[in-house]
Amino acid sequence: MWPNNDEMLLSVEDLVVNFHTVDGTVHALNNVRFSIRKGEVLGLVGETGCGKTATSLAVLRLLPDNARVMSGRILFEGRDLLTESPGEMAKIRGRRISMIFQDPASSLNPVFKVGTQLMDALKIYYPNDDEKKLTKLAQEKLTMTELPDAEAVMNLYPHELSGGMQQRVIMAVALSSSPSLIIADEPTTALDVTIQAQILALLKRLKDALGLSILLITHNLGLVRELCDTVAIMYAGSIVEVAAVQRIFKNPQHPYTRGLLSSVVTGSLRGQTLHYIPGMVPSLFKPPTGCRFNPRCPYMVPACGETRPELEEVEPNHFVACYNIPKEPWWRG
Amino acid sequence: MTDNLVAVQDLKVYFPIRGGVVGRVSGYVKAVDNVTLHIDKGEIFGLVGESGSGKTTLARAILRLVEPTSGSIVFDGVDLLKMRGSPLKHLRKNMQVVFQNPFLSLNPRMIVRNQIAEPLKAHTHMSEKEVTDRASELLKLVGLSDEHLWKYSIELSGGQAQRVCIARALALNPKLVILDEPTSSLDVSVQAQILNLLKDLQNRLGLTYLLITHDLGVVEYMANRVSVMYLGKIAEVGTFEEVFKDPKHPYSEALLSAIPKVDSTPNDKTRIILRGNIPSPTNPPTGCRFHTRCQRYIGDICRDTEPGLTTLSPTRSVSCHLYKS
């Protein structure tokens, strides 16, 4: 079902990850599968604790010590990252795959100048270049993220920059190695709305100019609609639906996707009672058998409690993991 | 006007910046600068703006958690800033607040029942039995049950914890509830449940809300009237229809267009992307505070003269030179 051709950049297959804690085993990721083509932006969407960040850490092999990858493959540029040696992995991490985190202030070291931090990264990627050449390169990277007066910014400490400028510096560091994949974990959540719009526009321009692939991790569905080509909806450690962004919003199929999209508050719902998904996210110490959404699902059939539904193609490039897809048309397209 | 529950007039809240060995005042952060607004009885008044715009400081001044520098706040016909001691304590029963992060607002070492009991013990002479009964009644009101009385906050989900905070805020039958980002730390589906609850409680108990949030979807869904703040000043105030359907101030216009929308296909052409950053409130721009980023800058007047609020209709005022006749 997943085209495995030259276009494919990252493909995660049946990834199962458990965390061992003093209270027992957390079944965090349950057969996660998705893929990203070259130049594609994939949005990984879900609520707190559904495994979005665990998935991205698994791709970078940065999972904490108590995590165990039980099975699965992570194919990136033709190699299985799960079988690479730590040395090889260190060469991929940062160079081929970069990461942008939510809070730019905590991603930068407060006691070093911005220039120093950017140069540190560049020295690793271009060990043969001299200081002068690297300084010029650093300024180029900062200009690429549309920071005015790159030369002056190099001499500033992170606290002298606003949140939006800090995030631009982080993006410059992430781009310093010319990676092919960027994992952006809630890149605009910590920023104000008008600054968020600036960063969003910048991400779009950079993506087009550099042909980047982006794995965007977020719970902000508005952001997804703006930036993503494809969306993967995640619930309690499983991917429940994957489709092109227009399809997800026009015609969501999985009951969880529908529930999630129904609960987004907008002014057009004024005067109506808001929809919500009854019940609570299950504990991953003892997740429900079968489909993990079944205790909260209004469309549950007996099969849902028995075996886990696989992602199946319901229309071209639209995959849904559900035994009983709702038949009524979607009300909010 | 007797319909007002809160009337704020020319309110200024300045925080001194002290520096050096002697702690000399070297300047002021003008968090709230000359704000005039009123909140009617029974309405939901939405206050929107980005971080540092003074939304929370304004709310804290109404609660008298910070001392205003000048101006007046009339609460239910009483001049709040002249109140001291026990009459002030008495008045405070009528105003309560619910914050963003319920786990930071609840004491992790106290059971739910005792947290709801705190305001009851401070303001009433109820017996332990009466307190428990009232706490149980309040939990039912917010959709929880008696079993939650004996739990600690870590045993609750985010949505349940926020319900406890709402129950505690309602314990003394307040007139005004200030909701400071009440759903921002919650997931989408939980957010919808809390908003349904808040709306329902407002209808049933005739409450007045001051809703502070940066989530414009929530404000558009909930609020009767809306005020947009920028750098300590009110940019625009009007009914939700006026502000959302036809924003007049260039800042409101840009803010509304900048939000990524879920229920429409994105359109980059209509989006206004503001230049630059929000200036520091210690050294705000002269004239109109928005002029450094304004997409409709009309000339020196914006830089030199502060616009002040222009009344456009009985419900609507805008602080912009474009609308000065």
What is the pLDDT at residue B207? 96
Q: Model pTM?
A: 0.90
A193 contact B CB<8A: yes
Say if B149 falls within a structural domain. Answer: no
Q: What are phi and psi of A217, to 5 degrees?
A: -105, 120
Range of the domain at B245: 4-94+174-323
Say if B284 falls within a structural domain. Answer: yes
Say if B315 falls within a structural domain. Answer: yes
**Is 60 exceeded by the pLDDT of residue B2?**
no
Contact call for B189 and A276, based on CB within 8 A? yes
Smallest CA-to-CA distance from B113 within B93, B132, B138 is with B132
Is B38 buried (19+), middle (13-18) or exposed (0-12) by CB count in 10 A? middle
- For chain B positions 271-290, those within 8 Å of chain A (CB to CB) are 271, 273-274, 277-278
Q: What are phi and psi of B153, to 5 degrees?
A: -65, -30
Contact call for B259 and A193, based on CB within 8 A? yes
Distance of CA A318 to the CA centre of its chain: 19
Contact call for A222 and B261, based on CB within 8 A? yes
Contact call for B260 and A200, based on CB within 8 A? yes
Query: What is the helix (H) or strand (E) element at residue A73, kind and residue range?
Result: strand A67-76
DSSP reduced 3-state for A309:
coil
Q: What is the mean pLDDT of residues B143-167?
A: 94
- What is the Cα–Cα distance from A145 to A165, expressed in whole angstroms? 9
Question: Letter for the amino acid at B24?
Answer: R
What is the pLDDT at residue A112? 96
**Is 80 exceeded by the pLDDT of residue B176?**
yes
What is the pLDDT at residue B280? 85
Question: Letter for the amino acid at B201?
Answer: L
Q: Which tens digit of pLDDT belongs to each residue from B198-242?
A: 999 999 999 999 999 988 999 999 999 999 999 999 999 999 999
**Which of B160, B188, B229, B241 should one mutate to test binding to chain A, selecting the residue with the greatest count of A CBs within 10 A?**
B188
Determine the distance in angstroms separating the CA of A78 from the nearest CA of chain B, rounded to an integer.
Answer: 34
Report how many domains make up chain B: 1
Determine the distance in angstroms separating the CA of A329 from the nearest CA of chain B, rounded to an integer.
Answer: 16
Question: Letter for the amino acid at B29?
Answer: V
Say if B113 falls within a structural domain. Answer: no
Is residue B4 within 8 A of residue B40, CB to CB? The reply is yes
A195 contact B CB<8A: yes
Averaged confidence pLDDT in chain B = 92
- What is the Cα–Cα distance from B321 to B31, expressed in whole angstroms? 23
**Is 90 exceeded by the pLDDT of residue B319?**
yes
Residue bearing the bigger pLDDT, B277 or B79 = B79
- What is the Cα–Cα distance from A30 to A21, expressed in whole angstroms? 17
DSSP reduced 3-state for B287:
coil
Say if B223 falls within a structural domain. Answer: yes
What is the pLDDT at residue A4? 54
- CATH number of the structural domain spanning residue B315: 3.40.50.300
Query: What is the helix (H) or strand (E) element at residue A43, kind and residue range?
Result: strand A41-45
Enumerate the CATH 3.40.50.300 domain ranges in chain A, comma separated: 8-96+180-320
Given the candidates 3.40.50.300, 3.30.365.10, 3.40.630.30, 3.40.50.720, the CATH classification of the domain at A8-96+180-320 is 3.40.50.300
Q: What is the mean pLDDT of residues B131-142?
A: 96
**Which of A41, A102, A192, A193 should one mutate to test binding to chain B, selecting the residue with the greatest count of B CBs within 10 A?**
A193
Which candidate from B187, B191, B262 shows the least CB-CB separation from A266? Answer: B262
Beta-strand relationship, B44-48 and B225-230: parallel
Determine the distance in angstroms separating the CA of A82 from the nearest CA of chain B, rounded to an integer.
Answer: 32
Say if B74 falls within a structural domain. Answer: yes
For every residue of A136-199, DSSP letters joined together read HHHHHHHHHTT-SSHHHHHTS-GGGS-HHHHHHHHHHHHHTT--SEEEEESTTTTS-HHHHHHH
Interface ipTM: 0.86
A249 contact B CB<8A: yes
- What is the Cα–Cα distance from B325 to B322, expressed in whole angstroms? 8
- What is the Cα–Cα distance from B252 to B254, expressed in whole angstroms? 5
- What is the Cα–Cα distance from A299 to B41, expressed in whole angstroms? 43
Q: What is the mean pLDDT of residues B89-97?
A: 93
Low-confidence ranges of chain A (pLDDT < 70): 1-6, 333
Is residue B251 within 8 A of residue B294, CB to CB? The reply is yes
DSSP conformational letter for B42: T
